[in-house]
């Protein structure tokens, strides 16, 4: 570049102007933008917070001030999100439960410790990844404590970069992509919400409850998004599209697809990883094995072992039982392909020693198909007649789904309950005492007896609805 | 030569020919088909006789009034036919349970299926029936009949039941080993061989096609329980007598030593033979599985896994989770009950110092099941085989003349059983083995002891927890008792059994 002295006055002016602009831009950037480099956009529904978060955790206390989210107002009211959550939500217990007797037994069994006194689940990374904030021990504010369990940032995203801007007037007008760049996890869309929940409640490569852990004492993960969301004490209000009365029906369908998708990703990981046991028992129907031997046995009745060798393991009885119904709204092509891919997968998984490469490939394939269908389902809305016929179709289909095992029967019940709730929201006249009672009667036999984590007395029965 | 002389010689020759012919004609009640060439082959000739071949002598002692037998009562067929379930084993195949299993497994005819008939009767391949069975007596409907246990060979059947006294005397003079090796009569007096024979069905034997698979269980086959040979023999009921029960003359002939406790000896040696058979089955099953194609079907059959490791309701709290796991939680192990009495055997044989080595081998096998769900097959083959060989040498040691099974030994064994309960948490079948062993050994001690009634009360408590009584004889049916039996298994609480054993320890006579 020519020295300034050689330029004419006009040229010098241009250079000076450019320099000034550059300086302004630099100053603006420094003052108004975070100095921390922004993270690449996390993939939808991805995995774990372990994925390179160098953002500083602020901690629940940061959100809890009376002026912000700790308003002490009525349950679920605006401004009292923290109040609602801390008083009613089980997620608050997630960390402290690691100090319980049962957690100690799990830790002792899993890590081969001599006794429970030397068992400290609260220091075990495997536990912390689902049961605590900042399990990966990234940067955290001085006031951050773990005792709040699964707190605000676990779902809403580590707050360092968005804390200061999320109460500004322009926050609501920003789109989701921009928010994500700051580490914020948008949750208005049901698909986003479900995909976040499943990272712990179904699992991922890093956050996995497999049969080793279950045998050590950990409860089984059988997640159902619609039901779990319905009983979670909501610290928010549904708005916009979600405020429409078909919400429960949409939540159910979206949740089923998101859960199945997460389960398939987990299966793909399990089948490829040499560190994981194979076959992985948690992929199969728990109660196909975990039942007392009985005489007489309903499993030996004709019709039970149809299509499989007596004594073989039924695969995927929880996450995939209702998938065909959940995909009812999609175009036939998508639905048909998913069903046939799943039945191929099932056939392979039910062999004594399933081919790991084939499983990984197929699982990834179906997962990709479900990804597309999930995006579609999120946008779909249902009229009352559609939900009514959905309800009836599930009941008619029931023998196929629920006949053979508790998992299917439970999933049918949860599906009917979700659609019944949607129908009630769409038309209060649908809040029919008879239907409600018959749903309750359906739920009763599904309950585990006292002292058991398995359905000791359950047997497949005929359709017992009164309608 | 004169005409007369020629006549004489003609008659003599013809007469001798006729006599020789008669000599080779079947004797009293026997139908030997053995051709003279048979003796030239190595070992005895396989030939399956039916009960008819034994009936004439072994049905009624009056038959043999003129030459009463010394060693047996000769009413064995009566006992077996009237009281023993083994007789109905084949008929059960056509019962409702057999038919249910056939439907679920896609079997055309269970009565012709090797996997069923090998244990429930005597399986002869259809094309070998003519060659291998005695047409005058063999009937597959007779179930588990005489030769199934005593040995299906022509030579011993002919000899020991010969109409000629001198043949029978010669037979008596043979050693048990000779009887078995040369003539094919299974030496069932040997506790190890007896156990092996029982276990061939009651645990399983790959070479003989006697294997209950998991698909068979799922289709309805009652689960095979643990087997303590002396208890099971009594429940048959046994058609033979212990030396103690025999008449004095027989005892003298057989060199009976009243200080030797026969049942105790059977418990100890049988306990080791149980493990040997279990390990052989495990090794052969794993071996066979290695050859299975495609590889997706290559996994140890679940029947080789401990049933109740999986088949239990998930109780909270769980005694398994409280007990903890020797390996990775949730990886089911092979069946554990055959291990129950082995260390007792080792100590009794003076091999206490080798226990750590045995335990090391055992832990290698356990590791094979920890490393991979249902076991790393090649490791399983190797180590199970190794353990089977270990058991074989232990059995031989325990059978030596210098190893005594006297009162002092019995009391020591009882103490060890109680001590086992203190250090380990046993599963149902293992606890049952221990309880049966205790009961049997104790029964051979002097029952006039002062606290006998207290001991009996404790044994009753064990019976209550473990259902020690078996569906014995023809009166009690396995399927009829199965609901209760399975309930006991599902309700099993190891701590209850441990307490009873601790109480029993205090009631034992001093060393």
**Which of chain A's residues have a Cβ under 8 Å away from the Cβ of B218?**
299-300, 305, 309-311
- Give the closest-approach CA distance of B298 to chain A in angstroms: 6
* Residue A364: closest CA among A290, A269, A459, A280: A269
Top-ranked range on mean pLDDT: pick from A294-298, B418-422, B435-439: B435-439
Chain B contacts to A (CB-CB under 8 A): 100, 103-105, 214-215, 217-220, 222-223, 295-299, 302, 307, 310-316, 318, 321-322, 324-325, 328-331, 372-373, 479, 482-483, 486, 489-490
Q: B4 pLDDT exceeds 90?
A: no
Q: B298, A451: Cβ pair inside 8 Å? A: no
As a whole number, mean pLDDT of residues A416-438 equals: 91
Min Cα separation A278/chain B (Å): 7
Angstroms from A50 CA to nearest CA on chain B:
26
**Which residues on chain A are in Cβ contact (under 8 Å) with B224?**
none
pLDDT tens for B357-372 read 999 999 999 999 999 9
- The whole-number pLDDT of residue A398 equals 83
Across the strands, what pairs with B66? none
Interval A268-320: pLDDT, tens: 999 998 888 999 999 999 999 999 999 999 999 988 888 889 999 999 999 99
Mean predicted lDDT score pLDDT of chain A: 88
* Band of pLDDT at residue B208, cut at 50, 70 and 90: very high
Is residue A15 very low, low, confident or very high in pLDDT (cuts 50, 70, 90)? low
Query: What is the per-residue pLDDT across A346-383, written as a single tens digit (0 to 9) for each?
Result: 999 999 999 999 999 999 999 999 999 999 999 999 99
* Cα A37 to Cα A58: distance, rounded to the nearest angstrom: 18
> What is the average per-residue pLDDT within B179-201?
96
Residue B374: closest C-alpha in chain A: A279
CB atoms within 10 A of CB A371: 18
Contact assignment for A292 to B312 by CB distance below 8 Å: yes
Tokens standing for residue A419: 């659609």
Closest partner residue to A215 (CB to CB) among B220, B330, B489 is B330
* Among candidates A112, A211, A294 on the partner chain, residue whose Cβ is nearest the Cβ of B486: A294
- Quickly state the pLDDT bin for B56 (edges 50, 70, 90): confident
Query: Cα dist. A381→A86, A246, A323, A387 in Å?
Result: 33, 7, 18, 10
Query: Testing the interface with B: which of A111, A220, A311, A458 to mutate, by most B Cβ within 10 A?
Result: A311
Q: Cβ contacts (< 8 Å) between A311 and chain B: which residues?
A: 214-215, 217-219, 302
Q: Which residues of B touch A108 (CB under 8 A)?
A: 324
ipTM: 0.86
- Among the listed ranges A296-310, B36-50, B149-163, which one has the minimum average pLDDT value? B36-50
Q: Does the beta-carbon distance from A293 to B331 stay under 8 Å?
A: no
- Give the mutation candidate from B316, B333, B486 for the A interface (greatest A CB count, under 10 A): B316
CA-nearest residue to A295 within chain B is B483
Contacts of B373 in chain A (CB under 8 A): 277-279, 281
At B369-413, the pLDDT tens digits run 999 999 999 999 999 999 999 999 999 999 998 999 999 999 999
Q: Which residue has the higher pLDDT, A290 or B19?
A: A290
Q: What is the pLDDT of residue A37?
A: 36
The per-residue pLDDT for A400 is 73
Mean predicted confidence (pLDDT) in A411-417 = 96
Chain B interface includes A110 (CB < 8 A): yes
Give residue limits of the domains in chain A: 56-95+132-186, 188-467
CB contact under 8 A, B325 and A215: yes
Higher confidence at residue A286 or residue A30? A286
- Taking residue A87's Cβ as centre, other Cβ atoms within 10 Å add up to 13
- Would you state the pLDDT for residue A399? 74
pLDDT > 70? residue A45: no
3-class SS string, B479-495? HHHHHHHHHHHHHCCHH
Rounded CA separation B271/B264 (Å): 10
Cβ separation of A105 and B321 shorter than 8 Å?
yes
Q: Which residue of A has its CA nearest to B295?
A: A353
CA distance to A57, A58, A134, A137, A313, per residue, from A140 (Å): 4, 6, 8, 8, 45
Residues of chain A with Cβ-Cβ distance to B298 below 8 Å are 352-353
A228 touches chain B (CB under 8 A): no
| CB-CB contact of B339 with B430 (8 Å) | yes
CB contact under 8 A, A289 and B310: yes
Give the one of B297, B307, B324 whose C-beta lies nearest to A109's C-beta. B324
* B134 in Cβ contact with B49 (< 8 Å): yes
From A106's Cα to the closest Cα of chain B, the distance in A is 8
- Cβ atoms of B46 and B152 within 8 Å: the answer is yes
Q: Which has the minimum average pLDDT: A117-131, A285-299, B150-164, B485-499? A: B150-164
The A residues from 13 to 52 touching B (CB cutoff 8 Å) are none
What is the reported pTM? 0.87
The pLDDT of residue A133 is above 90: yes
pLDDT in tens, A376-398: 999 999 999 999 999 999 998 88
Looking up tokens 């090998």 gives: B118
Where residue A335 falls among pLDDT bands split at 50, 70, 90?
Answer: low
Model pLDDT, residue B210: 98
pLDDT tens for B64-103 read 777 677 788 889 999 999 999 999 999 999 999 999 999 9
What does the pLDDT read at residue B274? 98
A454 chain-B contacts, CB cut-off 8 A: 313-314
- In whole angstroms, what is the distance from residue B389 CA to residue A403 CA? 49
At residue B96, the pLDDT reads 95
| CA closest to A356 among chain B residues | B296
pLDDT digits (tens, 9 = 90+) for B256-284: 999 999 999 999 999 999 999 999 999 99
* pLDDT at residue number B449: 78
Min Cα distance B368 → chain A (Å) is: 13
Cβ contacts below 8 Å, chain A against chain B, sum to 123
Cα gap A271→B162, rounded to integer Å:
67
Look-up of token digits 């276990």:
B199
pLDDT band at A334 (very low <50, low <70, confident <90, very high): low
> What HEC string does chain A produce?
CCCHHHCCHHHHHHHHHHHHHHHHHHHHHHHHCCCCCCCCCCCCCCCCCCCCCCCCECCHHHCCCCCCCCCCCCCCCCCCHHHHHHHHCHHHHCCHHHHCHHHHHHHHHHHCCCCHHHCCHHHCHHHHHHHCCCCCCCCECCCCCHHHCCCHHHHHCCCCCCCCCCCCCCHHHCCHHHHHHCCCCCCCCHHHHHHHHHHHHCCCCCCCCCHHHHHHCCCCCCCCHHHHHHHCCCCCCCCHHHHCCCHHHHHHHHHHHHHHHHHHHHHHHHHHCCCCCCCCHHHECHHHHCCCCCCCCHHHCCCCCCCCCCCCCCECCCCCCCHHHHCCCCCHHHHHHHHHHHHHHHHHHCCCCCCHHHHHHHHHHHHHHHHHHHHHHHHCCCCHHHHHHHHHHHHHHHHHHHCCCHHHHHHHHHHHHHHHHHHHHHCHHHCCHHHHHHHHHHHHHHCCCCCECCCCCCCCCCCCCCC
Q: Which helix (H) or strand (E) holds B76?
A: helix B76-83
Residues of A with Cβ-Cβ distance to B328 under 8 angstroms? 212, 277
pLDDT of residue A465: 41
Residue A295 · residue B486 · CB < 8 Å: yes
Touching check for A292 and chain B: CB below 8 Å? yes
The 10 Å Cβ neighbour count of residue B148 is 20
Average pLDDT, integer, range B107-135: 95
CA B277 to chain centroid: 10
Interface test with A, best of B101, B105, B218 (most A CBs within 10 A): B218
Distances (CA, A) of A422 to A140, A321, B215: 42, 21, 44
pLDDT band at A251 (very low <50, low <70, confident <90, very high): very high
CA distance B215 to chain A (A): 5
Please give the average per-residue pLDDT across B471-489, as a whole number: 95
Phi, psi of B31 (to 5 degrees): -135, 60
Q: How far is CA A283 from CA A180, A202, A263, A349, A354, in A?
A: 33, 11, 9, 9, 12
**Set of chain B residues whose Cβ sits within 8 Å of the Cβ of A285:** none
A138-167: pLDDT as tens digits: 999 999 999 999 999 999 999 999 999 999
Is the pLDDT higher at A64 or at B41? Answer: A64
- Please report the pLDDT score of residue A131 as a whole number: 97
pLDDT per position as a tens digit, A192-210: 999 999 999 999 999 999 9
CB contact under 8 A, B219 and A109: no
């Amino acid at each position: 570049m020519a020295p300034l002295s050689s330029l004419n006055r006009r040229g010098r002016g241009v250079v000076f102007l450019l320099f000034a602009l550059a300086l302004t831009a630099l100053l603006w950037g420094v003052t108004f933008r975070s100095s921390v480099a922004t993270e690449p956009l996390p993939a939808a529904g991805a995995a774990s917070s372990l994925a390179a978060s160098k953002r500083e955790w602020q901690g629940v206390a940061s959100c809890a001030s009376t002026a912000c989210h700790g308003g002490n107002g009525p349950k679920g009211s605006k401004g009292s999100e923290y109040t609602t959550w801390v008083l009613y939500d089980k997620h608050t217990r997630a960390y402290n439960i690691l100090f319980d007797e049962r957690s100690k037994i799990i830790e002792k069994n899993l890590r081969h410790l001599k006794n429970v006194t030397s068992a400290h689940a609260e220091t075990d990374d495997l536990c912390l990844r689902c049961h605590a904030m900042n399990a990966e021990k990234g940067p955290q504010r001085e006031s951050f404590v773990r005792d709040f369990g699964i707190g605000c940032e676990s779902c809403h995203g580590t707050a360092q970069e968005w804390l200061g801007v999320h109460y500004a007037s322009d926050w609501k007008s920003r789109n989701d992509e921009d928010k994500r760049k700051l580490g914020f996890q948008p949750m208005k869309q049901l698909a986003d919400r479900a995909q976040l929940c499943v990272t712990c409640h179904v699992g991922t490569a890093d956050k996995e409850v497999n049969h080793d852990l279950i045998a050590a004492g950990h409860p089984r993960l059988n997640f159902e998004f619609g039901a779990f969301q319905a009983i979670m004490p909501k610290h928010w209000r549904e708005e916009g599209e979600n405020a429409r009365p078909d919400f429960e029906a949409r939540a159910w369908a979206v949740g089923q697809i998101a859960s199945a998708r997460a389960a398939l990703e987990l299966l793909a990981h399990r089948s490829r990883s040499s560190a994981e046991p194979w076959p992985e028992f948690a992929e199969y129907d728990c109660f196909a094995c975990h039942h007392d031997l009985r005489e007489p046995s309903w499993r030996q009745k004709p019709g039970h072992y149809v299509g499989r060798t007596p004594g073989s393991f039924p695969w995927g009885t929880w996450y995939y039982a209702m998938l065909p119904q959940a995909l009812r709204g999609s175009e036939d092509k998508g639905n048909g392909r998913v069903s046939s891919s799943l039945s191929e997968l099932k056939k392979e998984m039910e062999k004594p020693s399933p081919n790991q490469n084939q499983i990984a490939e197929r699982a990834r394939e179906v997962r990709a198909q479900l990804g597309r269908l999930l995006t579609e389902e999120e946008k779909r809305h249902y009229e009352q007649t559609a939900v009514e016929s959905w309800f009836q179709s599930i009941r008619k289909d029931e023998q196929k789904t629920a006949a053979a095992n508790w998992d299917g029967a439970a999933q049918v019940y949860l599906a009917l309950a979700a659609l019944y709730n949607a129908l009630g929201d769409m038309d209060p006249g649908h809040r029919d005492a008879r239907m409600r009672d018959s749903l309750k009667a359906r739920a009763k036999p599904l309950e585990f007896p006292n002292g058991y984590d398995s359905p000791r007395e359950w047997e497949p029965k005929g359709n017992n609805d009164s309608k | 030569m004169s005409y007369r002389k020629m006549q004489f010689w003609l008659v003599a020759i013809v007469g001798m020919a006729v006599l020789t012919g008669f000599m080779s004609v079947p004797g009293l009640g026997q139908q030997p088909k053995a051709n003279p060439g048979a003796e030239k082959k190595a070992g005895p000739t396989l030939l399956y006789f039916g009960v008819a071949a034994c009936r004439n002598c072994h049905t009624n002692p009056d038959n043999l009034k003129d030459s009463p037998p010394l060693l047996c009562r000769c009413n064995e067929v009566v006992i077996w036919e009237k009281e023993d379930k083994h007789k109905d084993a084949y008929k059960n195949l056509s019962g409702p349970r057999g038919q249910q299993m056939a439907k679920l497994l896609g079997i055309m005819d269970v009565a012709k299926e090797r996997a069923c008939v090998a244990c429930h009767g005597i399986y002869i391949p259809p094309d070998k029936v003519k060659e291998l069975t005695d047409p005058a007596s063999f009937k597959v409907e007779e179930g588990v009949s005489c030769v199934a246990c005593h040995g299906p060979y022509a030579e011993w059947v002919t000899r020991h039941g010969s109409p000629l006294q001198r043949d029978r005397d010669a037979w008596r003079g043979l050693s048990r080993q000779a009887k078995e090796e040369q003539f094919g009569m299974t030496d069932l007096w040997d506790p190890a061989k007896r156990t092996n024979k029982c276990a061939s069905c009651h645990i399983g034997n790959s070479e003989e096609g006697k294997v209950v698979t998991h698909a068979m269980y799922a289709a309805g086959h009652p689960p095979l329980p643990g087997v303590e040979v002396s208890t099971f023999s009594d429940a048959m009921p046994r058609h033979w007598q212990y030396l103690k029960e025999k008449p004095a003359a027989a005892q003298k002939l057989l060199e009976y030593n009243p200080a030797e406790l026969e049942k105790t000896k059977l418990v100890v040696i049988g306990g080791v033979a149980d493990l040997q058979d279990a390990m052989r089955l495990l090794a052969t099953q794993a071996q066979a599985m290695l050859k299975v194609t495609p590889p997706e079907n290559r996994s140890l059959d679940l029947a080789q896994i401990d049933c109740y490791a999986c088949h239990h309701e998930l109780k909270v709290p769980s005694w398994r989770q409280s007990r903890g796991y020797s390996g990775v939680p949730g990886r089911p192990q092979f069946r554990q009950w055959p291990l129950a009495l082995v260390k007792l055997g080792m100590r009794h044989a003076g091999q206490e110092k080798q226990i750590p080595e045995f335990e090391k081998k055992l832990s290698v096998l356990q590791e094979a099941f920890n490393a991979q769900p249902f076991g790393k097959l090649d490791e399983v083959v190797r180590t199970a085989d190794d353990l089977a060989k270990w058991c074989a040498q232990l059995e031989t040691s325990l059978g030596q003349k210098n190893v005594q099974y006297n009162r002092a030994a019995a009391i020591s064994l009882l103490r060890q059983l109680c001590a086992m309960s203190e250090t380990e948490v046993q599963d149902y079948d293992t606890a049952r083995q221990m309880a049966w062993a205790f009961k049997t050994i104790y029964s051979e001690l002097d029952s006039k002891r002062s606290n006998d009634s207290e001991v009996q009360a404790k044994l009753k408590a064990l019976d209550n927890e473990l259902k020690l009584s078996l569906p014995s004889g023809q009166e009690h049916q396995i399927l009829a008792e199965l609901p209760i039996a399975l309930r006991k298994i599902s309700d099993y609480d190891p701590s209850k059994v441990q307490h009873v054993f601790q109480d029993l320890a205090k009631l034992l006579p001093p060393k």
